[in-house]
Structure 1
Amino acid sequence: MHCVDYNSPNRLRAGSAVPVRVNLSFGLEMLEAAGREAAKVERLLTAETRPDLMMDLSVERADREPWQVARELFDGPIGLLPHYLMFSPSEGLDPANLLARIEAVFKLGINFITVHCTPTLGLFEQAKRERLTPITSRGGGIVVRDMLINGRSRSLFAQIFDDICAIAAQYGGVINLGTAFRAASVADGLDAVVREEIAIQAQFIHKARELGVQVVLEGPGHIRLSELGDYWEMIAPLDVTPMPLGPIVSDRFSGMDHVASAIGAARLMSLSRGGIINAVTAVEHLGGVPNLRQMEEGLRAAQVAAQAASLDFDGTAFEAEAEVSRRRASLESCVLHSQDAGCSRCQRLCPLISASYSRVVPN
């Protein structure tokens, strides 16, 4: 698998044989919330546990974009979706304005962008025939709407992809290939639409490399745990760093999407032996903007998944686990972070206290 080197202040690497990285998304859904979002980002970035990457998903424009606020506190890679703020419900997307936006954000310090090159009218029609929910990707949905507004037969990103790559190469930027038709529910999972989209994505991965640009592949959204092995077998020959959007492996448990996502992400990252996990919050499908606590919980769940997967191939990850074991042995306690409070679970039957064995007399 290709390793990606992000041209950010801390030169982060992601991919094969590198510890699994975690991305945290944030953004502005209404202009009045700019102060609130800035405060959440500041709190998250001054905490002990920080993400490895961040992504601005803002759908409203502010004088200072949220990613610019984050950059003052964060030296890791930051990305965005350039079409989010460029789409007009009446006119769609303008290619010249979109390219200008891409060059402007790379010049200002964005390290990666997500583009949705795969939509075609044929694939969209197939999704409408074969799925209850044809599309769930917001970025992919914007591209499809632009196609319908402007009479395009394929994604605008596909039409200007060479120009995008030229800009990315100039600034050392990374391109995330978005998955416009990732399944909206586990019931669809790894269906024919997803398989066809992967074939199209392969073409753009090869094209980007020909043009000297590093690529990350966004992956499945909702998919059964048993299908993750099949998915990995399909993308492994592409030799690309995966960045799954989830994957959420069960839709049944309202308010537990961060758990379902962590399960799927750990499994896929174990198979791929490297990549990037997206932190998912508990309110992913509850219709609300996540608050600070929910973002912290989503980030921690993703970090647990990243550590669990990294243990399969990264020695530094295993050494962190070994250190926990040594501390438990030296303290004779399972409790490491609240020694003053002690432990009240096992009481005099605690198996870790060596003194509890001192009176055992062998026959």
Structure 2
Amino acid sequence: MREYKTQMEAAKRGIITPEMKTVAEKECMEPEKLLELVAKGQVAIPANVNHTSLSAEGIGSGLKTKINVNLGISGDCKNYDVEMQKVNMAVKFGAEAIMDLSNYGKTNTFRRALIKTCPAMIGTVPMYDAIGYLEKDLLEITAKDFLRVVRAHAEEGVDFMTIHAGINRRCVEAFRREGRKMNIVSRGGSLLFAWMEMTGNENPFFEYYDEVLEILREFDVTVSLGDALRPGCIDDATDAGQIAELIELGNLTKRAWDKDVQVMVEGPGHMAMDEIAANMKLQKRLCHGAPFYVLGPLVTDIAPGYDHITSAIGGAIAAASGADFLCYVTPAEHLRLPDLADVKEGIIASKIAAHAADIAKKIPHARDLDKEMAKARHEVDWDKMFDLAIDGEKAREYFESTPPADRHTCSMCGKMCAVRTTNMILEGKKVEFCSEK
């Protein structure tokens, strides 16, 4: 039995855990430096003691930007085999985290299989699962019932949980007073708001937050403080409700750290580009440097079917400005449960955003693959380019769909390829087109 309960407790006591060693190696960072960041709460290593298949990852200051893939069944789409295919795809393309957002029936069979085999961090939103798990209507669920679901997920091996503890009565008052175009778009936030309004009670996750933390500490689960009042359209961004909740999340962050529970803070969903950087700085200030996890942000509201692009634009800006963890968005966002093709598009778009941000943040070795790609392009080495590409299969498929007569070019430029022309001149060769056979 280990001598510490959580990664944060170990770090505060100067103990370098096996998970810290794994993360330090992945990040090319000295374990002692990583330990300091974990002790301060600036880095989280979500690692439930019961998730034995986990390959630990760090999220936070000075580390590579990580991405999360949402999946799970709904009442209209109940095929767990397809969801497991999405899991395998996410792992193949390097997603560091998977959130099971299943909201239909008994979801723990799938979740247990996921935790047993998946090396990625696993996250859940217990609020989503409460109705199916408890088999009760929302109005019949008690505060203690919600805590039962949190414990069940923790016992199963979930590494991080979204807990919407910040939407208390003070935040609801700010939300009601100001008004919004889209009101509440967080599924968990809307359910809690409805429960609070129907029962007249305080948010149970806020009222019993210390008990939630005790459960999370027991299994070393990282709390991901959910943004129930995140903006659902760009006109609602940075309003009183969002900021009021963010202030509450800052206080909840410190309370979690006091109990050695690791924290991530969740951030806005829709936001104009010129507001993103300021929001990242505000979150870091109000939440004391805790890792920031953002959904997007989506920088425009008029691109259904292409929201993986609107999200990648916002995600790149957010991560370059301080966000640490990007939740992917697929082309199916706002339209349907994503299929396998949608999931792939969402993962690739998010990976591009994260990598671009890491270059801007000067994360160690972030440019290494880009330098290798430049060398391969200079040498017109197509096989090497495909090996280096985020999605080499697609790159090869595109190239070979219209094969060039000369493999040292592509079908767009042919022998007028700028790289070929310059290489030939620098090698002392003559460039001719009409006389070449």
User: What's the TM-score, normalizing by structure 2?
Assistant: 0.77
User: 1:229, 1:271 within 8 Å by CA — same for their partners in 2?
Assistant: yes
User: 2:224, 2:266 within 8 Å by CA — same for their partners in 1?
Assistant: yes
| SS of match in other structure, 1:113 | strand
Q: Which residue of 2 aligns with 1:344?
A: 411
State the shift of 1:241 in Å: 0.4
Whether 1:359 aligns to 2:399 is no
Q: 2:296 aligns with which of 233, 238, 246?
A: 246
Measured against aligned partners, the alpha-carbon deviations of 1:90-116 in whole angstroms (never above 9, x if no partner) come to: 525322222222222212211111111
State the shift of 1:41 in Å: 2.9
AA partner of residue 264 (structure 1): G
Q: Which residue of 2 aligns with 1:2?
A: 42
State the shift of 1:132 in Å: 1.9
- Larger mean CA deviation between 311-320 and 20-29 belongs to 311-320
Whether 1:326 aligns to 2:395 is no
Q: 1:133 to 1:104 in 2, by over 3 A?
A: same
Q: 1:282 aligns with which of 321, 324, 331?
A: 331
RMSD over aligned Cα atoms: 2.3
State the shift of 1:120 in Å: 2.9
User: 2:45, 2:57 within 8 Å by CA — same for their partners in 1?
Assistant: yes
Distance in 2, Cα, partners of 1:117 & 1:63: 23
Distance in 1, Cα, partners of 2:272 & 2:259: 35
Q: Which runs of 5+ in 1 are unaligned?
A: none
| SS of match in other structure, 2:150 | helix
Distance in 2, Cα, partners of 1:321 & 1:254: 31
Q: Which residue of 2 aligns with 1:117?
A: 165
User: 1:45, 1:73 within 8 Å by CA — same for their partners in 2?
Assistant: no
Measured against aligned partners, the alpha-carbon deviations of 1:140-159 in whole angstroms (never above 9, x if no partner) come to: 1111111122211x311001
Q: Which residue of 2 aligns with 1:209?
A: 257
| SS of match in other structure, 2:162 | strand
User: 1:38, 1:69 within 8 Å by CA — same for their partners in 2?
Assistant: no
User: 1:42, 1:73 within 8 Å by CA — same for their partners in 2?
Assistant: no
Q: 1:299 aligns with which of 339, 343, 347?
A: 347
State the shift of 1:297 in Å: 0.4
User: 1:18, 1:314 within 8 Å by CA — same for their partners in 2?
Assistant: yes
Distance in 2, Cα, partners of 1:90 & 1:107: 23
Q: Which residue of 2 aligns with 1:149?
A: 198
Q: 1:220 to 1:207 in 2, by over 3 A?
A: same
Q: State the identity %.
A: 23
Distance in 2, Cα, partners of 1:259 & 1:45: 18
1:175-186 matches, within 5 Å, as 175-186=223-234
- Larger mean CA deviation between 215-224 and 347-356 belongs to 347-356
Q: 1:266 to 1:334 in 2, by over 3 A?
A: farther
| SS of match in other structure, 2:127 | coil
Q: Which has the higher contact order (CA 8 A, sep 6+)?
A: 1
Q: 1:68 aligns with which of 112, 133, 142?
A: 112
Q: Which runs of 5+ in 2 are unaligned?
A: 1-40, 387-395, 432-437
Distance in 1, Cα, partners of 2:209 & 2:163: 9
| SS of match in other structure, 1:24 | strand
Whether 1:223 aligns to 2:271 is yes
Q: 2:213 aligns with which of 142, 156, 165?
A: 165
Distance in 2, Cα, partners of 1:109 & 1:24: 18
Q: Which residue of 2 aligns with 1:200?
A: 248
Distance in 1, Cα, partners of 2:94 & 2:348: 9
- Larger mean CA deviation between 35-44 and 192-201 belongs to 35-44
Q: 1:84 aligns with which of 122, 125, 128?
A: 128
| SS of match in other structure, 2:254 | helix
The structure in which a higher percent of residues are helix is 2
Q: Which residue of 2 aligns with 1:270?
A: 320
User: 2:77, 2:337 within 8 Å by CA — same for their partners in 1?
Assistant: no
AA partner of residue 6 (structure 1): P
- Larger mean CA deviation between 92-101 and 306-315 belongs to 92-101
Alignment length (residue pairs) = 357
Task: Give the greater-gyration-radius structure (CA).
Answer: 2
Q: Which residue of 2 aligns with 1:14?
A: 59
State the shift of 1:246 in Å: 1.3
| SS of match in other structure, 1:315 | coil
| SS of match in other structure, 1:12 | coil
State the shift of 1:255 in Å: 1.0
Distance in 1, Cα, partners of 2:253 & 2:184: 22
Measured against aligned partners, the alpha-carbon deviations of 1:205-258 in whole angstroms (never above 9, x if no partner) come to: 111111111100000011111001221221122211010011111101221111
User: 2:168, 2:206 within 8 Å by CA — same for their partners in 1?
Assistant: no
User: 1:4, 1:14 within 8 Å by CA — same for their partners in 2?
Assistant: yes
State the shift of 1:35 in Å: 3.4
Distance in 2, Cα, partners of 1:242 & 1:33: 32
Distance in 2, Cα, partners of 1:72 & 1:346: 50
User: What's the TM-score, normalizing by structure 1?
Assistant: 0.91
AA partner of residue 418 (structure 2): P
State the shift of 1:134 in Å: 1.6
- Larger mean CA deviation between 122-131 and 249-258 belongs to 122-131
| SS of match in other structure, 2:146 | helix
User: 1:333, 1:352 within 8 Å by CA — same for their partners in 2?
Assistant: no
Distance in 2, Cα, partners of 1:232 & 1:271: 6
Q: 1:133 to 1:231 in 2, by over 3 A?
A: same
Distance in 2, Cα, partners of 1:180 & 1:60: 21
